[in-house]
């Protein structure tokens, strides 16, 4: 089910097989099983997700009390910053959104929700997640990765991205400027302890817009949010 995304909400069996790395017969059996279980719907040659897939995520979030332990903390700190805060984890080479808190009249709204995937290499969230890994593992991932160009500012050389990841590891925070969305600055900090499952929080602000806070205020606010999440043990289940 992870092969579906916002750009490709419907796929053929051949496309599912290619994206999942399975042969077509295996992909067909799996897809038909999911159709029978109600997680996929079939319209001619095209297959798409049904709302029932939300029950899988809902069961995980409820079992780990995200609504009681994680979301209130994100809401509290988002309100203090006046910016949306996103909690993410590393998921098979992409950034997976676990939870998000938005604010009324927030300066940046991407439209991402829990379960959304965000690019790994050109976002502060992704680079901070990579910085939670050993340098050799990051090198291997970069050697195998396709490096797209989202904007004119996107770094496209693996060595340049590795340098930024190593910088994030040393300083304990990651910063990007217009590499994923033009004119958007991103800041992210780690939540997880060294050696644990990489988990980060981050937020974004428009470049050059007059705000009640600057990037230093944002960094401090995110660091306090991450510390509160660690202290509450709200993400120990991950």
Asked whether 129 and 120 are in contact (CB, 8 A), the reply is yes
With a cut of 60, say whether residue 105 has pLDDT above it. Answer: no
Asked if pLDDT for residue 65 goes beyond 70, the answer is no
| Residue 134 CA, distance from chain mean position | 19
Higher per-residue pLDDT: 35 or 5? 35
- What six digits make up the tokens of 5? 């995304």
* pLDDT for residue 39: 73
Most confident of the following: 9-18, 112-121, 197-206? 197-206
Q: How much is the CA Rg of the chain, to the nearest whole Å?
A: 19
- For residues 228 and 80, what is the distance between their CA atoms, to the nearest angstrom? 14
Q: List the 117-118 sheet strands across, edge first.
A: 117-118, 94-101, 85-91, 199-206, 184-190, 174-177
Largest CA distance in the chain: 57
Most confident of 62-66, 92-96, 168-172: 168-172
pLDDT in tens, 71-95: 888 999 999 988 889 999 988 778 9
107 pLDDT above the threshold of 60: no
Residue 1 has pLDDT above 90, yes or no: no
Domains and CATH numbers, the chain: 10-50 (1.10.10.10), 55-232 (3.30.450.40)
- Residue 205: per-residue pLDDT: 86
- Residues 41 and 57: their CA atoms lie apart, in Å, by 18
Question: Which pLDDT score is estimated for 191?
Answer: 95
Residue 148 Ramachandran class (φ > 0 left, ψ -120 to 50 alpha, else beta): beta
**Complete DSSP assignment for the chain:** -TT--SS-SEE-HHHHHHHHT--HHHHHHHHHHHHHHTSEEEETTEEEE-TTHHHHHHHHHHHTTIIIIIHHHHHHHHHHHTS-EEEEEEETTEEEEEEEE--TT-S------TT-EE-STTSHHHHHHHHTS-HHHHHHHHHH-----SSTT----HHHHHHHHHHHHHHT-EEEESSSSTTEEEEEEE-SPTTS--EEEEEEEETT---SS-HHHHHHHHHHHHHHHHHHTTTTT-
- Torsion on CA atoms 161, 162, 164, 168, rounded to nearest 10: 140
Higher pLDDT, 107 or 19: 19
Average pLDDT over residues 163-191: 95
Q: State residue 99's pLDDT score.
A: 87
**pLDDT tens by residue, 130-142:** 999 999 999 999 9
Question: Which residues are within 8 A (CB) of 2 and not within 5 positions of it... i.e. 6 or more apart?
Answer: 92
Residue 26 has a pLDDT of 87
Provide the pLDDT confidence category of residue 177 given band limits of 50, 70 and 90: very high
Confidence of residue 36 (pLDDT cuts 50, 70, 90): confident
59 vs 177, higher pLDDT: 177
Name the residue among 185, 178, 222, 232 with its Cα closest to residue 201: 222
- Is it the case that residue 214 has pLDDT exceeding 80? no
- At 210 the pLDDT is 44
Report the pLDDT value the prediction gives residue 123, as an integer from 0 to 100. 95
Q: How far apart are CA 184 and CA 129, in angstroms?
A: 19
pTM of whole model > 0.75?
Answer: yes
pLDDT tens by residue, 142-161: 999 999 999 999 999 999 99
């Amino acid at each position: 089910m992870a092969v579906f995304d916002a750009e490709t909400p419907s796929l053929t069996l051949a496309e599912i097989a290619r994206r999942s790395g399975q042969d077509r017969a295996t992909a067909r059996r799996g897809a038909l099983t999911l159709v029978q279980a109600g997680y996929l719907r079939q319209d001619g040659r095209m297959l798409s997700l049904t709302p029932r897939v939300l029950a899988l995520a809902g069961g995980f979030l409820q079992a780990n009390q995200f609504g009681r332990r994680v979301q209130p903390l994100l809401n509290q700190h988002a309100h203090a910053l006046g910016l949306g805060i996103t909690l993410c984890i590393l998921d098979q080479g992409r950034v997976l959104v676990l939870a998000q808190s938005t604010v009324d009249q927030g300066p940046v709204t991407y439209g991402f929700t829990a379960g959304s995937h965000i690019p790994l290499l050109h976002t502060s969230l992704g680079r901070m997640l990579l910085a939670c890994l050993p340098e050799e593992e990051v090198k291997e991932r970069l050697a195998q990765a396709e490096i797209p160009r989202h904007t004119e500012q996107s770094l496209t050389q693996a060595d340049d991205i590795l340098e930024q990841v190593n910088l994030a590891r040393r300083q304990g925070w990651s910063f990007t400027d217009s590499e994923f969305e033009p004119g958007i600055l991103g800041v992210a900090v780690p939540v997880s302890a060294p050696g644990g499952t990489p988990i980060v929080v981050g937020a974004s602000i428009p470049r050059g817009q007059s705000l009640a806070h600057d990037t230093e205020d944002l960094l401090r606010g995110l660091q306090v949010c991450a510390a509160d999440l660690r202290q509450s043990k709200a993400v120990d289940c991950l």
